[in-house]
Amino acid sequence: MDRVADLEHPGANVSLRHVDVMWAQGARKLDIVYELAHEIGVPPPPMFTGSTEPRTIFVLINDRLGLGIDERLGKPDLARCIVEASGESWHPDYASRGATVTKPGLLAVLDAVRYFLV
């Protein structure tokens, strides 16, 4: 299992089973959201100001993978449930103020999605 440290969040290490570490280090949040959409076979939802990931991507992942997560949850909680459903742990640095998911959190979600699709 490889780990990648995120330069934007120095204390954040993401455990990656199904994501290329070199790609992950250079990826932006936009890239990760587009990759998530590609993996589940949907068009990428539009990104918002400040690279804020759309809540829609987590709802689509839940729906496409049939995870049964309560879709009324907020973004960080939806992301947490997706990651935990794959057997991985959710770390506090995967979410930030303002109900957003950090880059390490998005990478953890991508890793979880690929876990389910293998």
Residue 45 belongs to domain spanning: 2-117
**CB of 115 closer than 8 Å to CB of 17:** yes
**CB of 82 closer than 8 Å to CB of 57:** no
- Residue 14: closest CA among 100, 88, 99: 88
Is the four-CA dihedral 37, 40, 41, 45 of positive or negative sign? negative
3-state helix, strand, coil in the chain (%, to 5): 50, 15, 30
At 83, the pLDDT band (50, 70, 90 cuts) reads very high
pLDDT exceeds cutoff 70 at 78: yes
Number of domains composing the chain: 1
- Model pTM score: 0.85
* Chain segment 1-56, per-residue pLDDT in tens: 445 444 444 445 667 788 888 899 999 999 999 999 999 999 999 887 776 889 99
